[in-house]
Amino acid sequence: MGVDRSVAVVGGGVIGLSCAWALADAGRRVTLVDPDPGRGASWVAGGMLAPVTESWPGEEDALELGTAALAAWPDFAARLTPVGGDPGLRLDGTLAVAVDSADVGTQDLLAGHLAALGREVRRLTARELRAIEPGLGRGVRSGLHVPGDLAVDNRALLASLHNACRRSGVRFVTTAARSVRGGAVDLADESTVECSVVVIAAGARSGRLHPRMSLVRPVKGEILRLRSRPGALPVPTRTIRAHVESRPVYLVPRTTGELVLGATQLDVGFDETVTAGGVRDLLRDAEQVLPGIAEYELVETAAGLRAGSPDNLPLIGWIEPGVLAASGHHRNGLLLAPITAAAVVSLVTGSEVADVVRAADPARFPEVPR
């Protein structure tokens, strides 16, 4: 009898699809279990690939992991394009801007922290910022240019991964999983998918599938999609991140003329309602950064659930023989998709996992029930 090379991936967001594609490419027989693949938080996300502007003192492991993931992105996109279609990687970089004096203070802190780590950031005056993005509001006082922080069109990426999975022979089962154990996924319709390894990649809902994943919690985020109209200012050329009265807001342009504007961050359980207050706050803060958006069409409001973990690092590794975690990516699942998929392939095939991924080993939480 030959070696059992079957793998079931539970969850078809950006993480599950990336893992499924990479595993199929590595010669595994892959079944992807998801009642609604390509949705979840991945469908809602802003699309920033931004380890530097996401970083914060005390989160150095996340910066290291994110930096390694970002370095993998150009190759990931280049391999994906011929098999799945263009995932919409944008190389234009990011501006981080501050509006009031407290926001300038926050930015000074970030700039000092990044400089101490030897990261490439350039301080810009308000005048220099406006020379790069003429649409910036009068209230913008200073900023940072972070050329290395990129962006991707999350929906183009999901479509591309879906195509790549199909072309690589991934089998899709569109029934929800009820629970996971070594060598099997039990489905809501009482059937079972048997396999040698299960990968749990169900995002914020991963905690419902296995007791070891119970520390993954949902963190709600609301986001808006706007579109420039004839006569209005065009969308900016690069991602703009801001602090407005201490509230973070970001504006991520798409080549389609859309501008994705996000995001709130709330611990409210599995609630995915878009609230009037969330929309108001985002529009008010974004308008201070880019007043021209008042003329744009509001095309979509959405909310998604990030998969939070206690230390904001993902959970990538074995949680019991035959069960791998690939979840808890919180604010950075798009960024971390290539490195997560590569790590999952290494773990399944028994090869060396990149050093930088070891910080994400679920074994760092030994107190969680088995």
Ligand X SMILES: Cc1cc2nc3c(=O)[nH]c(=O)nc-3n(C[C@H](O)[C@H](O)[C@H](O)COP(=O)(O)OP(=O)(O)OC[C@H]3O[C@@H](n4cnc5c(N)ncnc54)[C@H](O)[C@@H]3O)c2cc1C
Q: By the criterion CB under 6 A, which residues form the site for ligand X?
A: 10-16, 33-37, 39-42, 44-48, 176-177, 201-205, 221, 223, 262-263, 304, 306-307, 327, 329-335
CB 85 within 8 A of CB 137: no
Beta carbon of residue 23, minimum distance to ligand X (angstroms, whole number): 15
Q: Token digits for 109? A: 């802190």
Beta carbon of residue 66, minimum distance to ligand X (angstroms, whole number): 9
CB of 62 or CB of 114, closer to ligand X: 62
CB of 55 or CB of 332, closer to ligand X: 332
Cite the beta strand spans of the chain per DSSP E: 6-10, 29-33, 48-49, 89-90, 94-98, 122-125, 142-146, 150-152, 171-173, 177-181, 184-187, 192-194, 197-200, 217-227, 239-244, 247-253, 258-262, 297-308, 315-320, 323-327
Beta carbon of residue 238, minimum distance to ligand X (angstroms, whole number): 14
**Pairing, β 184-187 against β 177-181:** antiparallel
CB of 129 or CB of 199, closer to ligand X: 199
Q: Token digits for 337? A: 């998709």
What 3-state class would DSSP assign to 175?
A: coil
Beta carbon of residue 50, minimum distance to ligand X (angstroms, whole number): 7
Q: Strand 177-181: give its sheet, edge to edge.
A: 177-181, 184-187, 192-194
Beta carbon of residue 264, minimum distance to ligand X (angstroms, whole number): 8
Instruction: Write the CB contacts of 142 (distance below 8 Å, at least 6 apart in sequence).
Output: 97, 98, 104, 107, 123, 124, 125, 126, 129
Beta carbon of residue 125, minimum distance to ligand X (angstroms, whole number): 27
Q: Report d(CA 172, CA 306) in Å as an integer.
A: 23
* Torsional sign, CA 317, 320, 321, 327: negative
CB of 115 or CB of 268, closer to ligand X: 268
What 3-state class would DSSP assign to 286?
A: helix
Beta carbon of residue 45, minimum distance to ligand X (angstroms, whole number): 3
CB of 145 or CB of 225, closer to ligand X: 225
What 3-state class would DSSP assign to 99?
A: coil
CB of 16 or CB of 148, closer to ligand X: 16
From residue 102, give the alpha-carbon distance in Å to each of 106, 179, 292: 6, 47, 24
Choose among 150, 154, 200: nearest CA to 33. Answer: 200
CB of 96 or CB of 142, closer to ligand X: 96
Beta carbon of residue 9, minimum distance to ligand X (angstroms, whole number): 9
CB of 121 or CB of 252, closer to ligand X: 252
**How far is CA 63 from its chain centroid?**
14
